[in-house]
Amino acid sequence: MDIITQANEEAIRRMLTGDPVLVDVVPATEAIDGLKDRMILHAGPPVAWKNMCGPMRGAVTGIAVFEGWAENLADAEEQADAGAFEFHPNHHFDAVGPMTGMTTMSQPVMVVENRAFGNRAFCTINEGLGKVMRFGGNDLEVLDRLRWLRGSFGPAFGRALRHIDGLPLKDLIARGLTMGDEMHQRNIGCSSLTLRALAPAFAATSDENDALSRALAFLGGNDQFFLNIAMAMGKSVMDPVRDIEGSSVVTAMSRNGTEFGIRVSGTGDQWFTAPVEMPEGLYFPGFTSDDANPDMGDSTIVETVGLGGFAMAAAPAVAGFVGAGTATEAAATTHAMAEIVHSENPEWTIPSLNYLGVPTGIDVRYVVETGLAPTINTGIAHKDPGVGQVGAGVVRAPLACFEQAVWALADRLGIA
């Protein structure tokens, strides 16, 4: 067996044997080694302040106010211009974040432990829909919600998780796939299952029923609550797949609103980047594609692990929401993605495709050979800072990233 085949078999084995468990919620500074004052982790590959898109800048100024580093948004912008903040990708710190993906010291992060490999991954708590920081929102309402997540909901969520010794995610996601979720733009099934599993523990570890009622209403009222859990899950499953000499399997796909980047197992932590594309989608009333920011966020870790656009057939209801057509077209998308991967996942199956497993283990070579770029379901942010979500759609990963990766891998193996 040649080195690439052997390496990819090992990559698939690690993906399929991952055992992700949501174990805790703690302040980011406790969870993430090296996260310090005035450091801001963001979505996607590295990007300098001057190259950041509108919503990313909006989120940066908002989070600087939230952390007490700036008096107000204008002050935060001046400080950013003056280089007062240090920027790094979430992916460089075992973390992921949706859309703008702000991760900073005092925010609570969810901790997913991959019990098969012992590694941990982190993601902030989903804020809900509309005007929220991940879509570039930064006003008082947005910051107040973050304060409540930090001061009340996050600690209660952590207590509940510790009370039940963690929430295993593999079976929960399997069940979500039978409930019409694809875990990127549709998470109502898994969000509901999370509430089912945690509500008794929230109650058992609370002594203040108004706060408890508000926490349960927040968890139960947010159809996308599970997205951030799915992302930390994806990161925890993909991280042990990194650095397998010779493997052409994609370990991360991510976008910062300016560039799309991928990482491949056999080329380690190198990013292969290209300009992000514009999602094609449906817009909320009052907005059009003229308002849209290009593709953004670490949430493509969900597609990297075989869900999201790859599991479109499981979620015919989301196909309409993101403008991807009918159930028939949703099934075609999943079948197309099956052409660029190594395996199906026997534990994550799609009932409407007679229990076909989700496409697992993207191979950069197959993407380049077929010209089939990974299909991604995504939210769409307004291009200006401070506005928020304006729609949802589908976007393709730029082929250029995969072409670069193939050449780099070939170079590394001396077969270029």
| Interacting residues toward a second copy by CB under 8 A | 175, 178-180, 188-189, 192-193, 195-197, 199-201, 203-204, 206-207, 209-210, 212-214, 216-217, 220-221, 316-317, 319-320, 326-328, 351-355
Rounded Cα–Cα distance for residues 333 and 396 (Å): 12
Separation between Cα atoms, residue 2 and residue 208, nearest integer Å: 61
Residue type, 167: L
CB nearer a second copy, residue 188 or residue 233: 188
Can you give the length of the chain in residues?
Answer: 416
**DSSP secondary structure, 74-106, as one string:** HHHHHHHHTT-SEEEEGGGGTB--STT--B-TT
Nearer to a second copy, 187 or 300 (CB): 187
| C-alpha to C-alpha distance for 291 and 285, rounded to whole angstroms | 12
Reading the block at residue 373, the tokens are 């770029």
Q: Using the minimum distance from each CB to a second copy, give the nearer residue, 13 or 175.
A: 175
In whole angstroms, the minimum distance from the beta carbon of 336 to a second copy comes to 18
In angstroms, rounded to a whole number, what is the distance separating the alpha carbons of residues 296 and 101? 9
In whole angstroms, how close is the CB of 327 to a second copy at the nearest point? Answer: 5
Helix axes 170-177, 188-204, angle to 10 degrees: 140
CB closer to a second copy out of 74 and 217: 217
56/193 with CB nearer a second copy = 193
The helix/strand/coil state of 164 is: coil
Kindly tell me which of 106 and 178 has the beta carbon lying closer to a second copy: 178
Measured from the CB of residue 390, what is the shortest distance to a second copy in angstroms?
23
Three-state secondary-structure class, residue 26: strand
Provide the 3-class DSSP secondary structure of residue 334. Answer: helix
Q: Closest approach of Cβ 190 to a second copy, in Å?
A: 10
Rounded-to-integer distance, Cα 79 and Cα 88, Å: 17
The sign of the torsion formed by the CA atoms of 120, 152, 143, 391 equals positive
Q: How far is the CB of 128 from a second copy (least distance, A)?
A: 14
Residues with Cβ within 8 Å of 411's Cβ and at least 6 positions away in sequence, in order, are none
Q: Which is nearer to a second copy, 6 or 206 (CB)?
A: 206
CB of 325 to a second copy, least distance (A): 9
- Closest distance of CB 217 from a second copy, Å: 4
CB 152 within 8 A of CB 196: no
